[in-house]
Structure 1
Amino acid sequence: MNQKALLRIAEKLERLAGRLPSKIRNSVLRELTPLKELFLQQRPPRFLFIGSSKMPAHRIINTLFTPGAQEQMNVALMPVHRWIDWNISGHGTISILDARDAGDSATAQVEEDLRRQSADVVFLFDDGESNLARPSASNFMLHLQDDIGGALDDAKVIGVSFGSERRAAQLDEALKAQPAIRDRLLKVIQFTEMHSVETRGLLSVLAAELPNEAKIEMIRISRDREAQHHVAQMLIKSTTAICTAIGAQPIPLADLPILTSLQVMMVSGIMYISGRERSLRAATEFITALGANVGAGMLLREGARAILKFFPGWGNVVCGMVAGAGTYAIGRAATAFFIGGVSLRDARRKYLADRKKASHKSHWSHGSLGGSKSIE
């Protein structure tokens, strides 16, 4: 599913929301915010490298972002002191600005790139030889302190020590002693050439701390199952709430295309979170497969859902609950299949069970549209 198709769906939703009662309209728009951040504003996470280490950038990237993988990166065309995108083992993309050895002549270029695109996380490298007790001898720390409130905006900080465990602890103390860094510091890690458990943990921290628009790429790279499930559930929650609100409105038959588009978008999003490519066709085929054994019963339910829209009051409430229950069940089945790795047969069973269970719960009514504003 390309960006133009997603944009059309978002525009249709916003137009439809304009016709809803104000209370429901505001709730729908709130639920739409994380969906737009995930799909329309999605971008690679941006990492700024500064500090005293002279290790080549590709070796750092291999160790921190591809634990357990063979080195595959081609560094022949690596630009200096500019943002550059790195494809991480085909799973996702990150942007790196390596400013560790930026002298006076390159400082202006670094600052220009940071003004154009601010960093999400600053990796501050310590070679294990600088005098941490005297900030004047640690130019990279002073540089960070000067810029952290300007071109770096709300960037978080991760310290990386190439020294001993004791040296890493000293770096942690030195960074926490600086007010401009203390509240932004996520952690200090001890760098090793081994693909350690700590580097895997780092990917999980990044997936949790990055802004919504940069989360998905990091989750695809880290393949953190817990993070995948968390974001998928938030995606299901927002989509279900929107479908419930739309399904409860007295506009017979007209909402079916937008409901279907939302459900397909939700499934394609779960596919992408799992590490696959987004595909409108594959998402549609999956949804169709879920209903393959439901047959005429499925069609009758959807037909009844549309017919009930002609009866005001209770008919609208029932329709909203049916739309929400179906969307929720599809999302849960997609999560089980694409992220959990269950068989299609088991996913279909889960769909039927969750649909039946959700249809009996009243929290899919418009009162549940408080929703989350972000995926955190």
Structure 2
Amino acid sequence: MYDRLFQLVDKLPEGMKKPILREISPIREVFLEQRPARLMLVGSVGKSVPEFLHTACGVTVETGEMSGGWRSYKLSGRSGRGEAQILDARFDAPDDVVAAAIAHAAPDVLIYLRENLEPEAIWTKAIARVAQSGAETPIVGIAYGGEPARARLQALFASDRQFSMRRSVVCMPDEEEWGVGEAICAVLPNAARLEFARIAGAKKAQAEIAGSLLKSFTTVCGVIGLQPIPLADMPVLTTLQTLMVGLVVYVSGKPVNVRLVTEFLGALGLNIGAGILFRESARAIIKIVPLWGNAVSGFVAGAGTYAVGRAAISYFIEESPIAETQKLFHRLLPGWDAFKRRRLPSLKTAQTMEAEQIEAKAPPVGENPGNK
């Protein structure tokens, strides 16, 4: 899919290739360089790795093969949704085994598991393990036992240089606003972030990744819409918008197929019968008017792409009902009335339009009782 996108961009004038390629570079980093996250566990040994993943992220996993000291874990019964690689370097793991695994592949993040009544030896061993991992590796502390346990763990992190000098966050498995899966995703590198967000069902991380994707496609489609070639860009824009929806579905962890994407676009009214051809033709014909027509065309192409992508995030990641998603899409979609009156649209960004319109006309999609 990336190759196809690159081929489309390669057909544009030379002056526009560089800025567009810069915008699509995050797509390459997140999707094409994607790999399993490497998590190194230190601290308490009371929970097995599958128990940790189930408690922390609410997922049931199957234990996979060992490679270089790192063991893979995949979701039970959910093929194709990725995997995580975990090095169990807690108290009873041999030092030479841990050192060999770190030499084979550096961890992306350290996970410190803290039980309520933990012997001092556990903490001492954890400090030594952290020192082995490399100076830049971030840490996520997981406190079992409620708010007092979190406070004690934060104090421990602040008391030792091996912990205090690193990027770190402390959380609890039962937190709703900022769960363990979200905390881990926040400190992972981009190449490992997507796969773990899919496995853990980390909705906030998925929405953020999809938002970055949306920004890239909106910019690309806006630039393509500025091209003074009436009607010639419609197949390109349609291809890009369809590709964008497919990638949003992939980020959500759902299986991607042509039928699913087509049905979603059809539910939004993006088909010839619903008038999309007329709207896109009108947008392209406006280009015949020099300068003003190109500006409007570029705005509509970009804002229309944003509306499609934002609706896809709402439906596939935020799991809003299709009726609410349709309302959101039509609120964001540039209308034909502005062109009939021959007035340029407001210079407000699509994001500002969305925030203002949702606040004024409807409750936020996330608060709909039916979302659960």
1:25-82 Cα deviation digits (max 9, x unpaired): 554334223322332223332211234526432222222222xx6xx5444x653862
Which residue matches 1:373? Answer: none
- Higher mean alpha-carbon deviation, 265-274 vs 237-246, is at 265-274
Instruction: Return closer, same or farther for 1:81/1:42 CA change in 2, 3 Å cut-off.
Output: closer
Q: Render the CA deviation track for 1:82-141: whole Å, top value 9, x for unaligned.
A: 223312353653221223344254245213322xxx322101345611347xx8xx2331
User: Which position in structure 2 is the counterpart of 1:205?
Assistant: 183
Q: Which blocks of at least 5 consecutive residues in structure 1 are unaligned?
A: 366-376
Q: 1:83 to 1:311 in 2, by over 3 A?
A: farther
Query: For the structure 1 residues 324 and 219, does the alpha-carbon distance in structure 2 shift closer, same or farther, using more than 3 Å as the test?
Result: same
| Residue 187 of structure 2 is aligned to residue 187 of structure 1 | no
Of 156, 163, 169 in structure 1, the residue corresponding to residue 138 of structure 2 is 156
Distance 1:45 1:337 in 2: 26
1:265 paired with 2:243, answer yes
- CA distance 1:228–1:57, shift in 2 (3 Å): closer
TM score, norm. by length of structure 1: 0.74
Q: Which residues of 2 match residues 147-296 of structure 1 at below 5 A?
A: 147-149=133-135, 154-160=136-142, 169-188=151-170, 196-197=174-175, 201-291=179-269, 295=273
Q: Are 1:333 and 1:348, in contact at CA under 8 Å, matched by a contact in 2?
A: yes
Cross-structure match for 2:284: 306
Residue 245 of structure 1 deviates from its aligned partner by 0.8
Evaluate the alpha carbon distance shift between residue 345 and residue 235 of structure 1 in structure 2; reply closer, same or farther with a 3 A threshold.
same
Alpha-carbon distance, 1:292 to partner:
5.6
Shift of 1:277: 1.9
Q: TM-score by structure 2 length?
A: 0.75
Please, which runs of 5 or more residues in structure 2 have no aligned partner? 339-344, 351-372
Output aligned runs, 1:37-76, within 5 Å: 37-51=29-43, 53=45, 55-66=47-58, 72-75=60-63
Q: Looking at both structures, which has the greater relative contact order when contacts are Cα pairs under 8 Å and sequence separation is at least 6?
A: 1
Could you tell me whether the CA contact under 8 Å between 2:231 and 2:284 is conserved in 1? yes
**3-state DSSP of counterpart to 2:302:** helix
Aligned counterpart, 1:82: 69
User: Partner of 1:20: helix, strand, or coil?
Assistant: helix
Give the match for residue 9 of structure 1.
5
Offset, 1:177: 2.9
Q: Which amino acid is 1:362 matched to? A: L
Deviation, 1:321, is 1.6
Superposition deviation, residue 327 in structure 1: 0.9
Amino acid at match of 1:361: S
1:220 & 1:36 partners in 2: Cα distance? 17
CA separation of 1:46 and 1:280: change in aligned 2, threshold 3 A:
farther
1:113 aligns with 2:97: no
Aligned Cα root-mean-square deviation (Å)? 3.6
> Contact 1:245 / 1:320 at 8 angstroms: preserved in 2?
yes
Q: Deviation at 1:168?
A: 5.9
Shift of residue 198, structure 1, vs aligned partner: 7.1
* C-alpha contact 1:207 1:219 (8 A) present in aligned 2: yes
Give the CA deviation at 1:319: 1.8
SS in 2 for 1:187: strand
Q: Which residue does the alignment assign to 1:327?
A: 305
CA distance in structure 2 between the partners assigned to 1:346 and 1:176 by the alignment? 45
Instruction: Determine whether 1:96 maps to 2:86.
Output: yes
What CA distance in whole angstroms lies between the structure 2 residues aligned with 1:156 and 1:236?
Answer: 28
